[in-house]
Amino acid sequence: MNFENILVDEHNGLGTITINRPKKLNALNKATIQELHEAFKKLDTNHTIKVILITGSGEKAFVAGADISEFAHFSVEEGGKLAAKGQELLFDFVENLSTPVIALINGFALGGGLELAMACHFRIASENAKMGLPETSLGVIPGYGGTQRLPQLIGKGKAMELIMTAGMISAEEAKNLGLVNHVVPQEELLSLAQKIAGKIMNNSSVAISKAIKAVNDSTKNINGFETEIKQFGACFGTEDFKEGTNAFLEKRKADFPGK
Ligand code: COA
């Protein structure tokens, strides 16, 4: 598949997407959102891909936000559609993929950039990363799920402050808030991601996809405990479950069939 705004690599069970508009600090325009949707969909349906990484090209930015030049003149109706379409194609889509997605925040993650990172299953960052939701400084609010996912990740009060001040926080502050899991020098970001991905790949991809669904439902307005019970029960019908439990009882390493 040919893309103009992103690079996609598939290697050893790992799918890596790099947003590639460095001159615009990888800002998310409409075309990039569409391409990201297609790339995520393709990687998620490829059963040889066990983990997806997403990062930004260059050393300066993960994503510096939605492309302001595209929406500056939008009407109320167009603004609403922009948020709804973006959430459907990319942000909710990524959160609900059955393949684990890790964001590698390699620089600025602002507005839609931080929202994209927050839609991923978890985040790691380089020491130079800077994060924030500056939308209120532009007279708008986060529209790609930021008002929902930020309080879920760092708590309501901290999220309110970050959104109201439109401020930026450092990678270290983000780690202290629980927004990112690890902070490393920029040159070590990819190797850390690969190491974590390697650990994930040792485990049952079927069980992981069910865990993603159950964890996601914990933050939705539905009974996540019921989802957990349902997904937990469903694991008992999988070949991976039989292999995992048999391997334990037989004191050997599991060889999961992924079914
Ligand atoms: N949308 C569109 N273009 C963007 C952009 C965005 N969100 N963020 C950066 N760019 C563009 C700039 O317009 C500039 O383009 P140009 O060279 O054609 O003028 C280029 O990327 C480089 O950005 P620049 O502002 O010159 O870099 P900087 O190092 O001085 O500042 C930032 C970096 C991230 C602080 C600054 O670019 C910024 O504040 N960006 C907007 C962040 C934002 O508000 N995002 C939320 C959008 S809802």
Q: What is the pTM of this model?
A: 0.94
How many separate domains does the chain show? 2
pLDDT in tens, 143-172: 999 998 999 999 999 999 999 999 999 999
Supply the residue whose CA is at minimum distance from atom 10 of ligand 1: 24
Task: Give the pLDDT confidence score for residue 73 in this predicted structure.
Answer: 87
Is residue 108 in some structural domain? yes
Query: Residue 77, Cβ neighbours under 10 Å: how many?
Result: 8
Beta bridge partners of 126: 184
pLDDT of the residue at 241: 85
Q: Is the CB of 67 under 6 A from ligand 1?
A: yes
Last-in-domain residue among 182, 201, 220 = 201
Are 10 and 127 members of one domain?
A: yes
What is the rounded CA–CA span in Å between residue 128 and residue 108? 8
**pLDDT score of 213:** 95
The reported pLDDT for the residue numbered 193 is 98
Same domain for 222 and 175? no
Same-domain pairing of 26 and 75: yes
CA–CA gap between residue 232 and residue 228 (Å, rounded): 6
More confident residue, 49 or 218: 49
Does 255 fall in a domain? no
Are 109 and 18 within one domain?
A: yes
Average pLDDT over residues 69-86: 89
- Residue at 19 is within a domain: yes
227 in the same domain as 140: no
Identify the burial level of 157 via C-beta atoms within 10 angstroms of its C-beta, where 0-12 means exposed, 13-18 middle and 19 or more buried. exposed
Is 40 a member of any domain? yes
Residues 106 and 215 in one domain: no
Would residue 144 count as lying in a domain?
yes
pLDDT of residue 227: 67
Output helix, strand, coil percentages for the chain, rounded to the nearest 5: 50, 15, 30
pLDDT at 128 over 70: yes
In the numeric block, the tokens 């997806």 are attached to 52
Note whether 195 and 209 are same-domain residues.
no
Q: Ligand 1 centre from 114 Cα, in Å? A: 14
| Residue 72 shares a structural domain with residue 160 | yes
Q: Do 23 and 133 have their domain in common?
A: yes
- Distance from Cα 76 to the centre of ligand 1, integer Å: 24
| Boundaries of domain holding 218 | 205-249
Please state, in angstroms and as integers, the Cα–Cα distance from residue 19 to each residue in 7, 46, 83, 244, following that order: 7, 20, 20, 37
* Domain-embedded: residue 258: no
- Catalytic: 4? no
pLDDT score for 254: 86
Residue 70 annotated as catalytic: no
Catalytic residue among 88, 115, 172, 250: 115
**Residue 68's CB: how many other CB atoms inside 10 A?**
15
Average pLDDT over residues 130-147: 92
CATH number at residue 66: 3.90.226.10
Give per-residue pLDDT as tens, 171-215: 999 999 999 999 999 999 999 999 999 999 999 999 999 999 999
Per-residue model confidence (pLDDT) at position 91: 96
142 contacts: CB under 8 Å, gap ≥ 6? 111, 115, 133, 135, 150, 163
What pLDDT sits at residue 228? 67
Q: Same structural domain for residues 101 and 76?
A: yes
Give tens-digit pLDDT for 224-251: 666 667 777 777 888 988 898 888 788 8
Mind listing the pLDDT tens digit for each residue in 15-53?
A: 999 999 999 999 999 999 999 999 999 999 999 999 999
Is residue 31 helix, strand or coil?
Answer: helix
Q: 114 and 212: one domain?
A: no
142 Cβ inside 6 Å of ligand 1: no
Instruction: State how far the Cα of 246 lies from the Cα of 237, in Å rounded to an integer.
Output: 14
pLDDT at 224: 61
- Ligand 1, atom 4, lies closest to the CA of 24
Residues 219-226, mean pLDDT to the nearest whole number: 70
